[in-house]
């Protein structure tokens, strides 16, 4: 089992590296680039401009930007120009990045010159607690609601909950989050929760905690409601399916209530297909949720990476991809481990 | 526990019914920024937020006076003395204010200006835009008798030379280059340094020292001469600026408008979403909301509660919505075709649909309020019948299938329109054009495009029409950067080339005589209307919503659309009146 785990970890690390490398090379082959975006638009006359700025001046400025950002070097060890393969040795962008990354240095943002690792860590300080709380809360609620819906009593409340979950499932996250914002942070309606205010300057830990609790309530609610149907509805269906099987009938015949049977016997089997969905949440914890972060003005990793991609801030994009891909692959590994724990028949030693 | 929850609920409901808090003299003013400045490096200033921040931390020779919509002396004692040298050079005589000092008390001197201009040209620093913008300043001659007096020798002549010569943050030589390394290097040598050549070791060492100072994140690592210091910066969340207790301009009586810095604390909240920003304004989390989108502005004005708490301003800006034609495309090479297509835009309808009718229609690139505006030209208007007539004049024939064909061509007239995605005004304009074109038998494909891809597509000529903004200002009339044939391959993305227009484009900035300048500008507007490389549709308005408690709100049509340092709370005004 340990050897299998180490092997999977090594393969996951290799796959994450390969993904980041492909993004590294692919991003540099995209049209445009940071050199083009860094230069002022010629039709921007908001500040007085002298002269005509001929094409040669523009080319010189682009070359200066490329030199400054280290983009003037060849991208990879070999490149193909004019039908000929050229070998560049170690004097290439990929080698420089790979060497630094293996030493734990993910490079510096093109926009503000800050270390990529610092920027990611700072953004994750907001995203991780938010997304982890949302995932935890959603899982807890999904288990409770799944068990409730699977009891098949056909009550009005059950139908209401099921319909509500179906509605939530077809509602896009931006609409859901905007709706909550307009509902609960609107002086024209219910002005109950802050959406974008500032943390009190000289505040005690308690006051700060209270502020952040209020501030994160709506983003948290948005994320929980967005992911809840995805977890609850398949779980409820799985539980209902398991409730018709022979061992469930036996359990009931032995005197267990439906609730006890579902919780103690059907749930371990019904939860197996959900493990992949659950571990899929792991990369979300790292990559963040752009929509919620933009709408609620949270400086999380989703917003950071989206803005970096729009600005062609390659080091930040590649760093983000490396971390997200690692989280994704670890999520898959975690799913496998959980499968083995829940169902011993699936273990490699079985 | 029960009482705790009841208490919490009561507190929440009480806050929901709260009235605007009464502001103290030192209360911060909260302003909305749509984006983070990304860097506070005074050499880079990549966006409007960074420009606003630089104006608080640093000081330039000249600054925009938002009351007069003109440049006014800031560090400079007065506007420069302009003297032409021959037919291609201009000498600008400046003198720095005697009171101007750095935070460490040292005077701001002409050597600092010389150092800054050289730093703007050093390779390896994020100064590529500044290099191009201030490349016309070739030499700084310091008066040996007065260390505050100097002359800028500039290439070229014209009004842009004067106004453009003073709009950059002056940096302290003593802090960044105590060994005076750059004094040995003439400015022109640094300007002409080839991009492919490695910088001189002394310059490279200075560049490294500058980079180590990390001014992009820590502007306080260097003494400034602006009125504020950065107190806190939480990336993508907020920036907090505090007024310096002792700022050199406080001694000036009376203080010029550009040197007034009333707020004790300024907080810029980075709120990317417009709806969230509007709610923050309503919840009193914001005091100033500039560049309010039309619909949100309308909703705020419609709310009686919002009208009680807020004041609203609308100013016509210098940003023009334009449609440009790729004149290199064979189908669009004939100016009559371009004229015909321009008749399919409906500026009046678009202004009403996208800007609530605010803003100004125009005949050209100048606003109707300009003395150089050519009011003899008719305003562009939707005219499909005229469009069809012009197409026939251009040799297009309408066949039975309803489409327009050129004899011998294999395909009918069909166009692609590119514009930046997620811009409602651009999308509405493109849709209106598509609908009008369809009615006269022209197929139009719309290509909303991501910003960086759009920039590349426009640069490489991968479009038939584009819709975008031309950002103007009242300070100059140099349209050569995007219309002169010299700029094809850089700023001239329409590929427009016309000898008459070229002559006018070069003559206008150089012309100092106002009546002659007026004639040239009026002529240029006529030529552009006839040649139609681009169609200016209308000038956009700037909308500002601010707390009713704020005093001295100066709204402007120049970015950022308001004078932040002029604002104050009534308590601060009362305190000041008591002091005097």
Contacts of B399 (CB under 8 A, 6+ apart): B405, B412
CB contacts under 8 A, B 252-271 vs A, are 267, 269-271
Q: Residue written as tokens 């808090």?
A: B21
pLDDT-derived band at A201, boundaries 50, 70, 90:
low
Q: pLDDT per residue over A75-124, tens digit each?
A: 999 988 888 899 999 999 999 999 999 999 999 999 888 999 999 999 99
B88 φ, ψ (degrees, to nearest 5): -140, 0
Q: What percent helix, strand, coil does chain B show, rounded to 5?
A: 35, 20, 40
Domain around B97? 48-221
A52 φ, ψ (degrees, to nearest 5): -105, -15
Kindly list the residues from chain B whose CB atom is less than 8 angstroms away from the CB atom of residue A41: 455, 471, 491
> Alpha-carbon distance B524 to B505, whole Å?
8
B268 & B381 share domain: no
Tokens linked to B487: 């700029």
Kindly list the residues from chain A whose CB atom is less than 8 angstroms away from the CB atom of residue B237: 297-299
pLDDT-derived band at A288, boundaries 50, 70, 90:
low
CATH number at residue B145: 3.90.76.10
> Alpha-carbon distance A180 to A176, whole Å?
6
The number of folded domains in chain B is 3
B216 & B323 share domain: no
B338 & B463 share domain: yes
Task: Judge whether B167 lies within some domain.
Answer: yes
Residue-level pLDDT at B19: 67
B523 & B549 share domain: no
Nearest CA of chain A to the CA of B83: how many Å? 17
Instruction: Give the residue on B whose Cα is nearest the Cα of A64.
Output: B195
Categorise residue B526: left if φ over 0, alpha if ψ from -120 to 50, beta otherwise: alpha
Task: Judge whether B13 lies within some domain.
Answer: no
In angstroms, how far is CA B49 from the centroid of its own chain? 11
Nearest CA of chain A to the CA of B410: how many Å? 30
B419 & B378 share domain: yes
> Alpha-carbon distance A121 to B79, whole Å?
48
Q: Is the pLDDT of residue B14 over 70?
A: no
Q: Using the 8-state DSSP alphabet, how is residue B472 labeled?
A: -
Q: Please check whether residue B65 touches A, CB under 8 A.
A: no
What's the whole-model pTM score?
0.90
Q: Please check whether residue B63 touches A, CB under 8 A.
A: no
Radius of gyration, alpha carbons of chain B: 26
Residue-level pLDDT at B3: 45
> Of B275, B370, B317, which Cα lies nearest the Cα of B562?
B317
Per-residue burial over A258-279, b = 16 or more CB atoms within 10 Å of its CB, e = otherwise? beebbbebbbebbbeebbebbb
Rounded to an integer, the average pLDDT of A130-142 is: 92
CB–CB of B492 and A42 under 8 A?
yes
Residue-level pLDDT at B15: 47
Q: pLDDT per residue over A36-86, tens digit each?
A: 888 888 778 877 777 667 777 888 888 889 989 999 999 999 988 888 899
Q: Please check whether residue B459 touches A, CB under 8 A.
A: yes
Q: DSSP 3-state assignment of B545?
A: strand
CB–CB of B482 and A112 under 8 A?
no
B567 & B505 share domain: no
CB–CB of B133 and A52 under 8 A?
no
Q: Strand pairing of B465-471 and B414-420?
A: parallel
B432 & B504 share domain: yes
pLDDT-derived band at B204, boundaries 50, 70, 90:
very high
> Of B394, B405, B283, which Cα lies nearest the Cα of B16?
B283
Q: Using the 8-state DSSP alphabet, how is residue A345 labeled?
A: G
Task: Judge whether B548 lies within some domain.
Answer: yes
Task: Judge whether B41 lies within some domain.
Answer: no
Percentage of chain B beyond pLDDT 70 is: 96
CATH number at residue B547: 3.40.190.10
Task: Judge whether B9 lies within some domain.
Answer: no
CB contacts under 8 A, B 77-116 vs A, are none
B53 & B193 share domain: yes
State which of B164, B186, B221 marks the end of a domain: B221
Nearest CA of chain B to the CA of A183: how many Å? 11
CB–CB of A55 and B282 under 8 A?
no
Residue-level pLDDT at A121: 94
Percentage of chain A beyond pLDDT 90 is: 48
This complex has an ipTM of: 0.85
Q: Using the 8-state DSSP alphabet, how is residue A183 labeled?
A: H
Tokens linked to B27: 């209360």
pLDDT-derived band at A279, boundaries 50, 70, 90:
confident
B289 & B410 share domain: no
B284 & B409 share domain: no
Rounded to an integer, the average pLDDT of A199-221 is: 81
Task: Judge whether B5 lies within some domain.
Answer: no
B302 & B403 share domain: no
B369 & B518 share domain: yes
């Amino acid at each position: 089992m340990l050897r299998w785990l180490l092997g999977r970890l090594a393969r996951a690390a290799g796959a994450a590296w390969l993904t980041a490398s492909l993004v590294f090379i692919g991003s540099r082959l995209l049209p445009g680039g940071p050199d083009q975006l860094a230069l002022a638009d010629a039709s921007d006359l908001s500040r007085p401009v002298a002269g005509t700025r001929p094409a040669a001046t523009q080319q010189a400025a682009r070359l200066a930007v490329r030199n400054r950002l280290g983009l003037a070097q060849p991208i990879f060890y070999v490149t193909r120009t004019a039908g000929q393969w050229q070998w560049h040795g170690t004097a290439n962008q990929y080698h420089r990045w790979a060497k630094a990354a293996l030493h734990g240095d993910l490079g510096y943002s093109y926009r503000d010159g800050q270390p990529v690792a610092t920027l990611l860590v700072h953004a994750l300080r907001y995203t991780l607690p938010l997304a982890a709380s949302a995932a935890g809360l959603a899982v807890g609620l999904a288990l409770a609601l799944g068990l409730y819906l699977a009891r098949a009593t056909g009550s009005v409340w059950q139908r209401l909950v099921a319909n509500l979950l179906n509605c939530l499932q077809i509602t896009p996250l931006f609409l859901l989050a905007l709706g909550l914002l307009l509902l609960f942070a609107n002086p024209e309606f219910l002005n109950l929760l802050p959406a974008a205010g500032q943390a009190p300057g000289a505040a005690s830990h308690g006051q700060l905690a209270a502020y952040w609790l209020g501030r994160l309530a709506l983003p948290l609610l948005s994320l929980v409601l967005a992911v809840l149907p995805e977890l609850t509805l398949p779980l409820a269906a799985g539980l209902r399916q398991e409730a018709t099987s022979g061992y469930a009938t036996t359990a009931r015949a032995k005197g267990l209530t439906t609730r006890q049977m579902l919780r103690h016997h059907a749930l371990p089997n019904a939860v197996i297909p959900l493990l992949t969905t659950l571990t899929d949440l792991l990369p979300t914890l790292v990559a963040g949720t752009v929509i919620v972060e933009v709408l609620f003005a949270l400086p999380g990793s989703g917003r950071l990476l989206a803005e970096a991609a729009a600005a062609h801030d390659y080091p930040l994009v590649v760093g983000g991809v490396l971390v997200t891909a690692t989280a994704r692959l670890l999520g898959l590994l975690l799913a496998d481990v959980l499968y083995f724990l829940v169902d011993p028949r699936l273990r490699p030693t079985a | 526990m029960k009482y705790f929850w009841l208490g919490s609920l009561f507190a929440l409901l009480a806050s929901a019914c709260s009235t605007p808090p009464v502001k103290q003299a030192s209360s911060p003013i909260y302003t909305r920024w749509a984006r983070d400045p990304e860097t506070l490096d005074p050499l880079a200033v990549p966006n409007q937020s960074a420009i606003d921040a630089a104006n608080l931390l640093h000081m330039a020779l000249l600054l925009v006076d938002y009351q007069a919509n003109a440049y006014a002396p800031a560090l400079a004692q007065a506007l420069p003395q302009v003297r032409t040298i021959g037919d291609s050079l201009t000498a600008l005589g400046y003198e720095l204010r005697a009171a101007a000092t750095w935070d460490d008390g040292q005077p701001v001197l002409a050597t600092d200006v010389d150092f800054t201009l050289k730093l703007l040209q050093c390779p390896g620093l994020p100064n590529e835009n500044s290099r191009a913008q201030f490349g016309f300043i070739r030499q700084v001659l310091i008066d040996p008798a007065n260390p505050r007096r100097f002359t800028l020798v500039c290439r070229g002549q014209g009004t842009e030379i004067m106004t453009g010569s003073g709009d950059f943050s002056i940096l302290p030589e003593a802090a960044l280059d105590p060994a005076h390394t750059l004094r040995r290097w003439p400015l022109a040598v640094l300007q002409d340094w080839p991009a492919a050549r490695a910088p001189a070791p002394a310059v490279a060492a200075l560049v490294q020292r500058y980079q180590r100072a990390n001014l992009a994140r820590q502007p306080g690592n260097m003494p400034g001469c602006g009125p504020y210091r950065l107190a806190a910066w939480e990336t993508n969340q907020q920036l907090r600026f505090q007024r310096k207790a002792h700022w050199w301009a406080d001694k000036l009586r009376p203080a010029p408008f550009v040197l007034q810095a009333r707020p004790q604390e300024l907080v810029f909240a980075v709120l990317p979403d417009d709806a969230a920003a509007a709610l923050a304004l309503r919840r009193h989390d914001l005091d100033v909301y500039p560049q309010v989108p039309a619909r949100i502005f309308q909703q705020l004005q419609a709310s009686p509660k919002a009208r009680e708490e807020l004041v609203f301003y609308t100013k016509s800006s210098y940003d023009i919505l334009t449609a440009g034609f790729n004149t290199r495309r064979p189908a669009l090479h004939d100016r009559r075709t371009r004229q015909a297509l321009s008749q399919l835009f409906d500026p009046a309808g678009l202004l009403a649909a996208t800007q609530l009718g605010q803003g100004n229609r125009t005949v050209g690139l100048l606003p109707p309020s300009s003395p150089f505006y050519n009011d003899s030209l008719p305003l562009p208007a939707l005219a499909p019948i005229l469009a069809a007539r012009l197409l026939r004049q251009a040799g297009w024939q309408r066949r039975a299938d309803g489409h327009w064909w050129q004899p011998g061509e294999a395909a009918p007239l069909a166009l692609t329109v590119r514009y930046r995605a997620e811009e409602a005004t651009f999308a509405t304009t493109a849709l209106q054009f598509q609908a009008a074109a369809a009615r006269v038998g022209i197929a139009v494909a719309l290509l909303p495009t991501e910003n960086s891809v759009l920039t590349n597509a426009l640069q490489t000529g991968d479009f038939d029409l584009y819709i975008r903004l031309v950002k103007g200002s009242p300070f100059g009339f140099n349209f050569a950067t995007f219309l002169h044939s010299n700029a094809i391959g850089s700023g001239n993305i329409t590929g427009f080339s016309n000898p008459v227009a070229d002559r006018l484009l070069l003559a206008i900035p150089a012309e100092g005589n106002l009546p002659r300048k007026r004639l040239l500008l009026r002529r240029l507007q006529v030529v552009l209307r006839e040649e139609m490389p681009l169609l200016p549709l209308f000038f956009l308005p700037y909308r500002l919503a601010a707390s009713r408690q704020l005093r001295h709100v100066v709204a402007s049509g120049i970015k950022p659309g308001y004078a932040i340092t002029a604002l104050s709370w009534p308590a601060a005004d009362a305190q000041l009146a008591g002091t005097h």
